[in-house]
Structure 1
Amino acid sequence: MKKGWLFSGLASLLIAAGTGGASWYVMERVPQEMDGAPLLAAAPASKAAAAKTQSQKQEQAPKNATLKEIINETQKKVVMIQLEDGSLGSGFLYNEKGDIITNAHVVEGARKVKVKTADARTLDGEVIGAGTDTDVAVVRVPELAGETPLNMAEKEGEVGDEVLALGSPLGLQNTVTTGIISGTGRDLTIDPYVYSNLYQISAPIAPGNSGGPLVDAKTGSVLGINSAKVTEENSIGFSIPVAEMIDTARGWSKNPGADLPELVSTEGTDAGDYGWSAADDAEYLVTAYYNSLSAKDYVTAYSFLGSSWQAGTDYNGFRDGYLNTGDILVNSISSEQNGDEIKVVLHITAEEFKQSGTVYTDYKLTYRVGYENGMLKIISGKGEKLS
């Protein structure tokens, strides 16, 4: 199965910096298909644990949460945005109306987009506001209305604050990188956008991170939107602070479509036109299932199971079966589609806590994945311990 990369070629929006020969780039949305090796790399993390359905909402990470818990909860509200031409960007849920904040350059030239959630739902989105000189946009996704959004930071970040940069590049949705705020008050102009009072960050970001959130690593609150970078031997990223864009975003949410620039409307609602295959989604869902288990988010993991599996295993019994399991590493994964169902085969290494101590055991798992009421679910599975 062909996989996409995290990375794009050089962005088309460029100006020369005043010193050192550095070049400044808007974090261009990623084309779906690319030839050759990647040019710019963000340190990839495992595909993230998935979001709840509307009937299974969960609050933000608890106070004094661990880093893993903060990442797990935050990733559920980060989405991949794709245009009809196949280009990709990121966004995050910021209110209970189902509104997604992203960069204006991610949705440039579009009214209608596809939004892929962390639990592999592909939903219709509509651009309800976008800046012409401010690189911020809002996409409304009616099916996300009522879901708990990410918290917006109440105070500005400071130099030295530990941060997470999240995004949804093709093939590695919900990639996470870590770093610090390494500077504040940075101003850039990258035609046609003017950026003011930016955060400078050390967390690696790549073009697929466009529109994704910059998150406080201690609280899980959104500090800004990852938007631009300077390309040198050591890349430096920049994020638009929440304070610089939240009033604009709220204005668009209150009066959707009242302040839209001239955009080219894109038609077509077939998810197949947007480059996501059911097999890709099935692999992602199974990987997300195991990352949920690693994060001890048993509610999310259980929600991935089909109705027949849940009928034979109640939640308490399911959870109890994993209480002595720690981190689970997915070593490899492949899939094969047969009609409406997909067979997913993966090899994992599980950390297991036994009376004799901690052991690491390799398993081969085979799952049947299919749709129930329009939602992708793990229908059944079997596994074997490898010697």
Structure 2
Amino acid sequence: MKYRLMAAVSAASMICTLNLAAAAELSFAASSTGNNLEFFRKQFVIFEEKTGHKVNIVSMPSSSSEQFSQYRLWLAAGNKDVDVYQTDVIWAPQLADQFVDLKEAAKDVVEQFFPSIIASQTVNDRLVALPMYTDAPALYYRKDLLEKYGKQPPKTWDELAETAREIQEKERTAGQKDMWGFVFQGNSYEGLTCNALEWVKSSGGGQIVEPDGTISINNEKAAAAIDRAKGWVGTISPPGVLAYQEEESRGVWQTGNAVFMRNWPYAYSLGNGADSAVKGEFDVTTLPVAALGDRPSSALGGWNLAVSKYSDDQQAAIELVKFLASKDVQKARAIELSNLPTLVALYDDQDVAAAQPFMPEWKPIFQDAVPRPSATAKVKYNEVSSKFWTAVHNTLSGNGTAAENLELLEADLTILKGDSW
């Protein structure tokens, strides 16, 4: 009897040891924008209960440019400390060789995603990241102020500037001394590439580098679009906008000190939060164009999940990626954070529609989204973008005209391109 008891205890101990050995401790690098980290922490509790794996968050800056620089350093060094990376839609061609191919692991779910988004994360027939949520910015507007002054949401950039200036002046006269007409992301980083691409593309000025590899940015329409934006700084936009990223813009907007804002979907739920001065007082529409008849252009964004090829726990990391990209988690993210799902079925989900009635309004914004030229420039994209946002920031700051800076940019990009991208 004693022998049997000892054998049973020994067997139980062996099972526990095996279970502990099977459990992994993962590190996940994620953006600190908005309530992103708080959301992940809640989901990791569920994941840990289901799998036994533990997940630690490596908090990254909200600036995507800073994130990319750090990721590239870690991956180039073969860093084993991070197992899963939250990745921007544009990084797939640049970091593909450092990530695990998820094609086989995701074969049971891949058809549930928008094909175009899966394609954006597929490099040389390898699925290097699984889509978590997609993104396309919109024009946020204070519907209470537009109604107050008998205005409609602007269709053109000039109409936006005129409406913003008029309401800004009248609100300041009425005592709102901190009111500004329009806030956007003017800092010298990837966000400015997105903003400026929208100004240029919606003005008929191309998309920096065309899909066939042609460097198209040095043209009159592109220069006019950027010079137009320069005219906003210090008039309808605060001088400090030249240092704004997404969160700084949202800060001005959410305290009730802007008529219009260009931002991503995440700002919608935060703007309707209990602590928001604009709760229930705003709406969204497509970004303006240069002239009626032009197509609106929103920079295609989105965030994905990639497994480092240097991870010692790749299977557990893949489990985490599939969990975070799953229907349940994407549904929770859509409801709680107003992030756009990458799963087709969730756009017909009644709970999502009830919680975020704006999402159907985002469909035309998403449909008109323009990709940054990462697929064309491939591993050189980061340098292309950096040179572009620097040229734009110089113009906005008064360091040369748009025409002068775009001519220099074309020369730099030609050298960077060499014989081919």
Structure number having the greater strand percentage:
1
Q: When the two structures are superposed, what TM-score results if normalisation uses the length of structure 1?
A: 0.28
Q: What TM-score, normalized to structure 2?
A: 0.27
Bigger fraction of residues in helix? 2
Structure exhibiting the larger radius of gyration computed from Cα positions: 2
